[in-house]
Amino acid sequence: MTKLLVRISEQSRQFSETEKKISDYILNHAELIPNMTTKELATKADVSEASVTRFVKKIGVGSFKTFKITLAKEMAVKESFITDFSILQKKDTPYEMFQKVVHVNKNAIDMTMESLDKKELEAAVEAIKGAKKLVFYGVGGSAIAAQDAVVKFAKLGFEVEFNMDFHYMLSRIPYLNENDVFIAISMSGKTKDVLDMMHVAKSYGAKIIAITNLDKSPLYKKADIRLATPTVEADFRIASIASRMTQLTVIDTLYVSIFNQIGERMLDKFHAARDHVIRLRR
Amino acid sequence: MTKLLVRISEQSRQFSETEKKISDYILNHAELIPNMTTKELATKADVSEASVTRFVKKIGVGSFKTFKITLAKEMAVKESFITDFSILQKKDTPYEMFQKVVHVNKNAIDMTMESLDKKELEAAVEAIKGAKKLVFYGVGGSAIAAQDAVVKFAKLGFEVEFNMDFHYMLSRIPYLNENDVFIAISMSGKTKDVLDMMHVAKSYGAKIIAITNLDKSPLYKKADIRLATPTVEADFRIASIASRMTQLTVIDTLYVSIFNQIGERMLDKFHAARDHVIRLRR
DNA sequence: TCGTTATATGAAATTTTATTTCGTGAATTT
DNA sequence: AAATTCACGAAATAAAATTTCATATAACGA
C-alpha cells in the first residue's frame, strides 16, 4: 500500500460513519480514484460531496485535486496491486469497465509470454516461410483471429484461405499438400469442426500448426507445431475477450517475424498495395 | 523523459507558434503541470485557455485532466527505460519479435486510456443500450474489429449487421431509423467507404458512433459520439497491429458495459446459446 | 429531565476549473 | 480577387470542487 493509503487506514478508527464509508471505498478502489470526481466518489460511497472534500482535508491533503494527483503518483510506483478486477460488479460504470478491460487485456498478453514456447515459435515461422499456401481455420471467437491472419498474410503475398463455412472450407482442403500449412485456431482445442478439418488437412500432408490453450487437448496433441496460448481464468463475461487478445498476439508475432524475414523482397509490392488503397479509398 | 513528453517533443516540429509556446513550457516545467490549471498554464505560456485544451487533444490525450494524471504517473516512475521497441531489426529472431509485439500491444492498450473520453464512452453505452439495431462498418484492418463486435453483440441479443461488401451493406442502411445506431470504425477517419456509409446512415436518422483516432478527421467531426483511439506512431509494419488492439479494447469495453447493464435479463438465453455450442460443437 | 451547545452532515449556493462556441483576422486555395 | 480554411482568443457554457447554511443528533450542564 502507498503512504497515503496507509495513512488513511491508520486513521480509520477515528473516523465517523460517513468518513468510514469514504475511506472504505478509497482503500478498495484506489486505482479508480484519480479518474473520479467528488460527485462520483460521493455517490459510490453513499455520502455527500461536501463530506468528500472535508474528508481529504481531514487526512491532511489540501484539496481533492491534490489528493487525486498524489494518489496517481504513488500508485504508479508500485503498480501491480489491482484489487480484484476479475469480478465485475453490477454497479460498475462504463469507465470502470474500461479500466478493467484494459487491465485484463494487458494481463492476457503478458501471460502469453509464459505459455508460448520459443522453439515452437521458431518452427512455426520456418514452416510458414516455406509454405506455398496457408489455410486458417477457427470458429466462433477464434474466427476473428483467423480473419485477422488472412488480412495480414495476404498482404505478404501468400495464398491464404479462410472461410467460416465448414463445408466450403472442407472443399478447399484437398488442394493442400506437403508444402502447405494448416493453422488451426481453437481456445479449448476440442472444437469438433476444427478437429475434423485438421484431420483432413493432415491426411493431405499439410503441416499442422495449432494456436490453442496450453493444455493436453486433442488439438494440442495432434498438431505438428503448438503455439500455446495461456488459459486465462476469469469471469465468463470477459474470458473470451482476453483469450482473443492472446491469439491475436500470436498471429501478430508470426506476421511480423515473417515480414522481417521475407519482407525485403516484396517491400515494393507491399507499398504499392498500400498506395493503391490510400489513393482509391480516401 | 517520459513517453508523453517524448511524444510532445517528437511532434514539436508540426506545432504552430502558439502550440510551441505551450509545449516549451510543458517540457521545461513538466513536474509543475499536474498541479496547474488550464488558466495557469495558459498564463505562463502566454496563450489562451482554449489553446491549452486544444493542445492536449492535439497530442492525443482526451482531456486536460487526463493529461495531468498521466503525466503525474509517468514522472513518478523513475527512469522509464525506453528500450527502443519501435525499430524492428533485420536480425531479430522470432522470439525477440514476439517480445516486441507484446510490448507494442500492451503499450497501445495503455495509450487508449489517454485518448478515450469518459463521457463519450458513457454516451455510447447509453446509445447502444437503447438501440434496436446496430450496424457496424469498417474496412481493411478495421473490418476485424467490426467482425468482432458483431459476434459479441449478437450474443447479447441485438440485431446486428456487418458485411465487408460496400454495396450489400449500403442496401441495408435504409432500414435504419432514429432508434438505431451506426458504429463507424476507421483508424484514419478518412476512409471514403466508411464516410459515405456514415452519411447515408445519418440521413436515415441513425445515431453515429465513431471509433477512430483522436484527430480532426471528417469522421471524427461528423460523428455524434466519438470513441477516440490513440494515434500509435510506430514502424509501419506494426502500426496496424497496435491500432487494431486499441479498437478491440474499445469494442470490448462497450460489450462488457452493455452486458453488465442489460445482461441480467438475458442471462438464461446467453447460457442456453453457450450450452448449445458446447453440446453440438465439441 | 429539559434546555443549551457542539458536532456532523447534506442540500444548495458559490467559486473555480475545463471545455465549447463563436467571431475575427491571417493564410491558403481557387 | 474571392472564397475557403485555419488558428486563435474572448466569451459563454458546462462541469467540478468548495463553502455556506440549515438541520438533525449527540453531548453536556443545570
Q: Which residues contact A234 (CB under 8 A, 6 or more apart)?
A: A86, A104, A242
Among B108, B104, B63, residue whose Cα is nearest residue B226: B63
CATH architecture of B3-76: Orthogonal Bundle (1.10)
Which residue among A238, A277, A281 sits closest to B256, beta carbon to beta carbon? A238
DSSP SS3 for B201: helix
The band of A275, judged by pLDDT with boundaries at 50, 70 and 90, is low
Q: What is the pLDDT at residue A99?
A: 84
> How far is it, in rounded angstroms, from Cα A28 to Cα A177?
58
pLDDT, position A271: 67
CB contact under 8 A, B148 and A244: yes
Q: What Å value separates CA A16 and C1' D30?
A: 29
CB A88 within 8 A of CB A96: no
Q: Please report, as a single letter, which amino acid is at residue B29.
A: H
- CA geometry: angle at A56 spanning A50 and A57, to 5°? 90
Choice among A2-6, A183-187, B23-27, B65-69 with the minimum mean pLDDT: A2-6
Paired residues of A161 in beta bridges: A135
A177 touches strand D (CB under 7 A): no
Q: Which helix (H) or strand (E) holds B159?
A: strand B159-161
pLDDT score of B215: 78
Domain boundary assignment for chain A: 3-83, 113-281
How does B86-101 read in b/e, with b if 16+ C-beta sit within 10 Å?
Answer: bebeeebbbbbbbbbb
**Which pLDDT belongs to residue A266?**
67
Which cell goes with B190? Answer: 478518412
CATH architecture of B115-272: 3-Layer(aba) Sandwich (3.40)
Q: Which residues contact A64 (CB under 8 A, 6 or more apart)?
A: A38, A52, A53, A56
Domain A3-83 sits in CATH at 1.10.10.10
Asked if A108 and A155 touch (Cβ cutoff 8 Å), the reply is no
Question: What CATH number is given for A113-281 in this structure?
Answer: 3.40.50.10490
| pLDDT score, position A217 | 87
Those nucleotides of strand D lying less than 7 Å from any protein Cβ are 7-12, 15-20
With an 8 Å Cβ cutoff, are B190 and A282 in contact?
A: yes
CB within 8 Å: A241 and B255: yes
Identity of the amino acid at A267: L
Same fold, A3-83 and A113-281: no
At B53, the amino acid letter reads T
Range of lowest pLDDT (A242-246, B28-32, B274-278): B274-278
Sheet strand arrangement including A133-137: A159-161, A133-137, A181-186, A207-213, A225-229
Contact B97 A140 (CB under 8 A): no
All three cell numbers of A273: 498495395
User: How confident is residue A47, by pLDDT bands cut at 50, 70 and 90?
Assistant: very high
Residues with CB under 7 A from strand C: A 16-19, 46-51, 54; B 37-39, 49-50, 52-54, 56, 63-65, 68
Mean pLDDT of B13-27: 89
Q: Please report residues of A whose CB lies closer than 8 A to that of B187.
A: none
Closest chain B C-alpha to A71 CA, distance in angstroms: 9
Closest CB from A69, A75, A95 relative to B118: A95
Q: How confident is the model at residue A91 (pLDDT cuts 50, 70, 90)?
A: low
Are A31 and A75 a contacting pair, CB within 8 Å?
A: yes
pLDDT tens, B63-99? 899 999 989 888 887 544 444 555 566 667 788 788 8
Kind and range of the H or E run holding B217: none
Give the mean pLDDT of chain A: 84
The two beta strands, B133-137 and A225-229, are unpaired
Residue A281 to residue B192, Cβ atoms within 8 A: yes
Shortest Cα distance from B120 to chain A (angstroms)?
10
pLDDT over threshold 60, residue B217: yes
Yes or no: say if A184 and A137 are a contact pair by the CB < 8 Å rule: yes
3-state secondary structure chain A: CCHHHHHHHHHHHHCCHHHHHHHHHHHHCHHHHHHCCHHHHHHHHCCCHHHHHHHHHHCCCCCHHHHHHHHHHHHHHHCCCCCCCCCCCCCCCHHHHHHHHHHHHHHHHHHHHHHCCHHHHHHHHHHHHCCCEEEEECCCHHHHHHHHHHHHHHHCCCEEECCCCHHHHHHHHHHCCCCCEEEEEECCCCCHHHHHHHHHHHHCCCEEEEEEECCCCHHHHHCCEEEEECCCCCCHHHHHHHHHHHHHHHHHHHHHHHHHHHHHHHHHHHHHHHHHHHHHHC
Count the helix, strand and coil residues of chain B and give each as a percent rounded to the nearest 5.
65, 10, 25
Cα separation of B176 and A240, whole Å? 30
Cα separation, B109 vs B193, in Å, equals: 27
Residue B78 pLDDT: 55
The answer to whether the beta carbons of residues B155 and B273 sit under 8 Å apart is yes
